[in-house]
Amino acid sequence: MQVKIEEISSVKRRISVEVPAERVNTEIEKSFAGIQKKATLAGFRKGKAPLQMVKKFYRNAMQDEVMRRLYEQTLFPALDEHKLEPVDAPMIDDIALVEEGTPFKYSALIEIMPQILLGEYKGLQVKKERYVADEKAVEGEIERMRENMAQLAPVEEGTVEKGMVLTVDFSFAVPGYPEEETSGKDASVEVGNGRLLPGLEEGLLGMALGETKDITVTMPDDNPNKELAGKPGVFTVTLKEIKKKELPELNDEFAQQFGDFETIADMRTKLAEMREQQELERIKTDLKTRIIDALIEKNPLEVPDSMVRRQTDFMLENLKNRLKGQNMSLEMMGLDEDGFRQRFWGEAAQKVKGGLLVMALVEQENIAVEEADLEARYTQIAAGNEDMLSRIKEFYASQANARNSMVAEIKEDKAIAFLLENAVVTEVEAAELSAPVAGE
């Protein structure tokens, strides 16, 4: 048997195999002999048809069987011989038919793990966002809580102002596009929240009860029907009811309605603490991404498409599950599965690269997980619940796969901590992280 290995890239190989004619003949005869025992042809009892007739009528069946058998018998032994371990199923890209007295030839494409030789991984330069306490953000959260507790009171006199909630009858049309015509009765509209088409909100401001008004708007560029982008549309609106939001007074009684707070001062303090915790966690997650990006930049590598494809599938399933919990779907976000994979292919590739480099760092620095590390993780998961802690320990003691996954996660966390301990970390303002780099 002749085997040729062609290097297409650092992670792709083409393996070409030629099976000698003698072996092909043996397999063909063996296949026809097996088929003959089961063959049923007119005029003959089962298994008694002449071999020549079997060869004539069952040639396609023989072809399929022998090709499959030779493929199975030769490909993986050839891969083992050349110490090639595919990360996904080989893909046959060229195969010849089986013919008596002729060598059988085929070739297959395989992807293999990249060879990782870590170069620079100490002294990586990375920016970290500086945490800044934001009193306005806390006050904004309190205002949102007040908005959620607001009562709507009818307005008998006056005109529409921002913050009011209206009940309207309306019709809508785009001249020349009758299919776009629509209407509604007793529709509820809030003015001032930025959710209305540009022009509609401005047209509603100043309207009086019982008034009917034509309001012209410009159709947005991201309209689902691209033909309508930039064209005028007309709302005919009749104002039937105006209600004004009455926000609850900002006092201790208001704070106590949310359960965890005794006074309004207590609410501000605890909300600020919660925001700080959330922001610090966000900054920590962002820094983790940045240090891995820096590691990839200093240690570029090619990764197999099959691994990236699995990562995109994993990301897709996570998103679909999150959306399902919110009674939403991909389509509601303007995406389909293929569109998602194309859009997030680069991000998935970066995750695969980062994962492989972190694994290589774990090996190179002999990063290990001690029993104390596992105990700390169990305690973290239990969050102070002693009964839960004992159940968690029992679970991981009995589930080897779950324990192995936890060990891998802890190793990754330790590797990233190692990178950060040996990095040059510069704290900067958030605006500097989002600012474009000169020359880009």
Q: Packing angle between helix 264-298 and helix 400-421, nearest 10 degrees?
A: 80
Long-range contacts: 327-335, Cβ < 8 Å, 24+? Answer: none
Q: Which helix (H) or strand (E) holds 194?
A: none
439 has a pLDDT exceeding 60: no
From the list 237, 233, 220, the residue with the least C-alpha distance to 179 is 233
What would the mean pLDDT of 298-309 be, rounded to a whole number? Answer: 95
CA distance 186 to 162: 19
First to last CA, the chain: 54
Residue 234's H or E segment, with its range, is strand 232-246
pTM of the shown model:
0.74
Question: Do the Cβ atoms of 129 and 435 come closer than 8 Å?
Answer: no
Strands 424-428 and 125-129 turn out to be parallel
Question: 381-396, pLDDT tens digit by residue?
Answer: 998 888 899 999 999 9
Joined tokens for residue 410: 């802890």
Confirm if 308 and 351 have CB atoms less than 8 A apart: no
Rg (CA), the chain: 34
Asked if pLDDT for residue 434 goes beyond 80, the answer is no
Dihedral sign computed on CA atoms, order 419, 425, 429, 433 = negative
**Span of 41-45, 286-290, 426-430 with lowest mean pLDDT:** 41-45
Tell me the pLDDT tens digit for each residue of 99-128.
889 999 999 999 999 999 899 999 999 999
pLDDT digits (tens, 9 = 90+) for 12-32: 999 999 999 999 999 998 988
Q: What is the mean pLDDT of residues 233-254?
A: 92
Distance from the Cα of residue 184 to its chain's centroid: 38
The answer to whether 295 and 419 have CB atoms below 8 angstroms apart is yes
**Six-digit token string for 369:** 């997980």
